[in-house]
Amino acid sequence: MAAKQAIDTLTLADARAEHAQLVAEIGHHRALYYQKDAPEISDADYDALERRLAAIEQRFPELAGAHSPTATVGAAPAAGFGKVKHKVPMLSLGNAFEDEDVTDFVASIRRFLVLDETAPLDFVAEPKIDGLSLSIRYEDGQLVQAATRGDGAEGEDVTANVRTIDDIPNTLRGKAPAVLEVRGEVYMRREDFLALNKAQAEKGEKVFANPRNAAAGSLRQLDASITAGRPLRFFAYTWGELSEPLGATQSESRQRLADLGFTISEPSRLCRTADALLDYYHWIGGQRATLPFDIDGVVYKVDRLDLQERLGFRTRTPRWATAHKYPAEKAQTLLKAISIQVGRTGALTPVAELEPITVGGVVVSRATLHNEDEIRRKDVRVGDTVIVQRAGDVIPQIVSVVANLRPADSHPFEFPTHCPACGSLAVRSTAEKADAAAEVVAVESGSPEDGAAMEDAEAPAPEETVAEPDGVVRRCTGGLICPAQAVERLIHFTSRLAFDIEGLGIERMRLFHSQGRIREPADIFTLEKRESERLDRIVTMTGFGKKSVEKLFAAIEARRTIGLDRLIYALGIRQVGEATAKLLARHYLTVDHWRAAMIKAAEERAAQPAERKPELVGESYAELCAIEQIGVGVADDMMAFFREEHNRAVLDRLLAQITVETYQRPTTTGSPVVGKTVVFTGTLETMGRSEAKAKAESLGAKVAGSVSAKTDYVVVGADAGSKATKARELGLTILTEQEWADLISGKTGAPE
């Protein structure tokens, strides 16, 4: 950049000319930055342009006006893609790895549906394509909107980009349902991926790590003309909202999607038994290397849609389908060091620092070593050559040590007895693995493309992981004084299933925390107020551009209103994962009610001996423990959180900054049993206990395991025992199975 003339020597004419040029230049760079995600100059150079413009306007105020970029500073244009709420959530799939998992999958479906061995049960088996999922909405046969999966509830509007994909019709063939959301996978063929990378390299542009990243990066381009030039394809495999069914079975619906003009995932096969599914799996496995696209497994889906409907969903995955993954890819590399990470609940997790190596198309430089005992069991030592494996979305792991390559002077790893972050004693106690696992994933995520590639990864939620046996995890006892725990809690707070604040990723949070700018959740929401006057200081101290700080402030503002379930999850209370947070939100509905109930329950708990039965501890505590699927262990972790004065203060300071929406119970409008508590007892004739429970919950009822004065309905099957007797004694409403079925189908009104 040529040296600029000093402002105070400029004539008005010079100033006018330079002002016009600067306005044009700034406009150009803003468009590149905000609309194309492709800035040509550094943030610092851009900021220099803005400063020069401001200086000129200060000396010649007549040049400033509403059109000047100086007038629009602070109000960054809406960056990125618009958001789309999915009418039907876009969920993920459960995983099977071993043959036995497939037999279990089939058996559990039979059990749920109470089908005996001889009853027919068909499955469609099809390839699981490794790309990114997309939902495309058609109205009267015309493409009107397309969205990525996002967090499953809300994705990004990529309509303009999707219109450029050849495999995706803009107009459907033949007579289509009035509303049809087609779902499937956007992917890139291997040969197209190689050609794209070659062309990118020749132009000196970014090359992609694998076809999946290339597909994600190409779809998420703010400029649709870039997407148009990329060889994207699409496989249809399911649907979202529909005005009329596509068929009675999965196979009929697939055929219908093909007739409407989509490519469907092939080769597929209709299978009757677990053995037939396994045959298909091995058959496709044999062709895997020669298929034109990458697959990471196969998917099995119950064929009959009425059965799919009865089977329904768990929190994030359907009961009627599963993914059967191919074995992990392995590679050999050097273990350079073992570092210790401290999680948000204080768990010390050993992490292997590796000589970077490509495993299954992704560069791996760190892998989890789980815990102290695991290191001892595998006798992993620094300097060893190790076998690393990576399966699909799963965190890279060390499988074993190559014994004959061990250096002569190696010695066993000594696990620290003190927290590396705060020096407090670290002790062994019961714990769940989840926070450790989530951290290693976090370490691996990098560029936006990588982020998109992780889209389908489902990090284990704490309550979904099995607790390790007593004493396996070593935990820092520093609690609130430990800076590592504090920063991990903040990282969890802004993570995707929690507040999901774009632009406040792991590295930024570490930086803001270390600079003292963000110490607790409320600070995130006061950041702009505290710092905007000193924006220049943030810019120089953090190295972020001014625009990117403005973008961050906008993202924070967008999350000032949040759902109760996300808030509860975000607090990072031990064992309170996504599913538990939803259960709590669903039960207490408003933040005030929930908070008051937790404080009361914590007081009740503290006043009673630990061994006292929950129902005798107090009303609020008993109510919490009575929520189905919330055990005493989870309840006590909640109590431990609320008992701590500091935690309540942190929560209250946060609540002063945000608005928490009342929890909306999904899919229950008009249901006659919303909010009712029901107990099933005895043998039901038409459905199994699990199905009865799942159905009642999907209608907004709470299913309890025991009868109390708060029970609304007791549904009594054959040979009902003491629960029916107790219900009679308490004078509760007792229904036969048929009466219950009539009630939920709306045939009869609610009984008195």
Catalytic residue numbers, as ranges: 128
- Which amino acids are annotated as binding site, given as ranges? 43-47, 92-93, 126, 149, 185, 301, 325, 419, 422, 482
Tell me the closest approach of the beta carbon of residue 248 to ligand IVH, in angstroms: 18
- Closest distance to ligand IVH from the beta carbon of 749 (Å): 35
185 binds ligand IVH (CB under 6 A): yes
- In the complex, least distance from residue 667 CB atom to ligand IVH, rounded to whole angstroms: 15
Mark the segment that binds ligand IVH (CB under 6 A) among 35-43, 127-135, 224-232, 640-648.
127-135
Q: Does position 737 bind ligand IVH by CB under 6 A?
A: no
**Distance between CA 472 and CA 681 in Å, rounded?**
39
User: Is residue 591 part of the contact set for ligand IVH (CB under 6 A)?
Assistant: no
According to CB under 6 A, which one of 148, 221, 227, 238 is a site residue for ligand IVH?
Answer: 238
550, 554, 536: which is closest to 44 by C-alpha?
A: 536
Token pair listed for 103: 């037999």
Nearer to ligand IVH, 291 or 599 (CB): 291
In this chain, which of 33, 112, 237, 594 binds ligand IVH, going by CB under 6 A? 237
213 binds ligand IVH (CB under 6 A): no
Helical H runs in 571-721? Answer: 578-588, 591-606, 614-617, 619-626, 632-643, 645-655, 689-698
Q: Which amino acids are annotated as binding site for Zn(2+), given as ranges?
A: 419, 422, 482
Give 85 or 747: the residue with its C-beta nearer to ligand IVH.
85
Cα 237 to Cα 87, 126, 128, 354: the distances in Å are 18, 9, 10, 38
Query: Cβ closer to ligand IVH: 150 or 478?
Result: 150
Q: Which is nearer to ligand IVH, 185 or 604 (CB)?
A: 185
When binding is defined by CB under 6 A, the residue of 18, 192, 384, 456 that contacts ligand IVH is: 456
Q: Where are the alpha helices (DSSP H) in 532-573?
A: 535-542, 546-558, 564-570
Residue among 91, 165, 401, 714 that touches ligand IVH (CB under 6 A)? 91
Q: Which is nearer to ligand IVH, 459 or 651 (CB)?
A: 459
Of 250 and 397, the one with the shorter C-beta distance to ligand IVH is: 250
122 DSSP 8-state letter: -
Query: Least CB distance from residue 666 to ligand IVH, whole Å?
Result: 15
Dist CA 217 CA 455 (whole Å): 12
Residues facing residue 582 across a β-bridge? none
Residue with smaller CB distance to ligand IVH, 165 or 369: 165
Interaction between residue 133 and ligand IVH (CB under 6 A)? yes
- Which residues are part of a known binding site for NAD(+)? 43-47, 92-93, 126, 149, 185, 301, 325
Q: Which amino acid is at 572?
A: G
CA of 185: how far to CAs of 99, 218, 289, in Å?
26, 13, 20
Task: For residue 126, state whether it binds ligand IVH (rule: CB under 6 A).
Answer: yes
Q: How many residues bind ligand IVH (CB under 6 A)?
A: 16
Short-list 144, 150, 32, 138, CA closest to 83: 150
| Binding residue (CB under 6 A) for ligand IVH from 23, 79, 93, 518 | 93
Residue type for 472, please?
Answer: V
Helix (H/G/I), strand (E/B), else coil: 280:
helix
DSSP 8-state symbol, 31: I
Spatial separation of the C-alpha atoms in residues 45 and 732, rounded to whole Å: 74
Judge whether 136 and 130 are in contact, CB under 8 Å.
no
| Whole-angstrom distance, CA of residue 436 vs CA of residue 685 | 45
- What is the contact mask toward ligand IVH in residues 357 to 396, using x (rule: CB under 6 A)? ----------------------------------------
CA distance 582 to 576: 10
Binding segment toward ligand IVH, per CB under 6 A, in 126-134, 157-165, 411-419, 728-736: 126-134
Binding map of ligand IVH across residues 422-441, x = CB under 6 A, - = no contact: --------------------
State CA 560 to chain mean position distance: 20
Of 36, 128, 55, 135, the residue nearest 89 (C-alpha) = 135
Q: Which residue's CB is nearer to ligand IVH, number 299 or number 651?
A: 299
- φ, ψ of residue 374 to 5 degrees: the values are -65, -40
Provide the terminal-to-terminal Cα distance of the chain, rounded to the nearest Å: 82
Window contacting ligand IVH (CB under 6 A); options: 121-129, 587-595, 614-622, 686-694: 121-129
CA distances from 595 to 81, 580, 583, 600, 661 (A): 35, 15, 15, 9, 14
Q: Is 147 in the site for ligand IVH (CB under 6 A)?
A: no
Confirm or reject binding of residue 92 to ligand IVH (CB under 6 A). Answer: yes
Which of 600, 595, 605, 604 lies closest to 573, judged by CA?
595
Per the structure block, which two tokens stand in for 507?
């590295």
Question: Site map for ligand IVH, 297-326, x if CB under 6 A?
Answer: --x------------------x--x-x---
The only residue of 164, 218, 251, 265 in contact with ligand IVH, by rule CB under 6 A: 265
At CA 336, angle to CA 476 and CA 208, rounded to 5?
Answer: 100
Nearer to ligand IVH, 68 or 92 (CB): 92
Q: How many CB atoms lie within 10 A of CB 107?
A: 12
d(CA 289, CA 665): 46
Task: List the one residue out of 47, 74, 20, 63 whose CA is nearest residue 531.
Answer: 74
Stretch that binds ligand IVH, among 85-93, 197-205, 365-373, 394-402 (CB under 6 A): 85-93
Cβ proximity to ligand IVH: between 127 and 700 the closer is: 127
Minimum Å gap between C-beta 87 and ligand IVH is 14
DSSP assignment letter at 462? G
Query: Do the beta carbons of residue 295 and residue 131 sit within 8 Å?
Result: no
Tokens of 236: 């249809």
Cα–Cα distance, 593 to 623 (Å, whole number): 13
What is the binding site for ligand IVH (CB under 6 A)?
91-93, 126, 128-129, 133, 185, 237-238, 265, 299, 318, 321, 323, 456
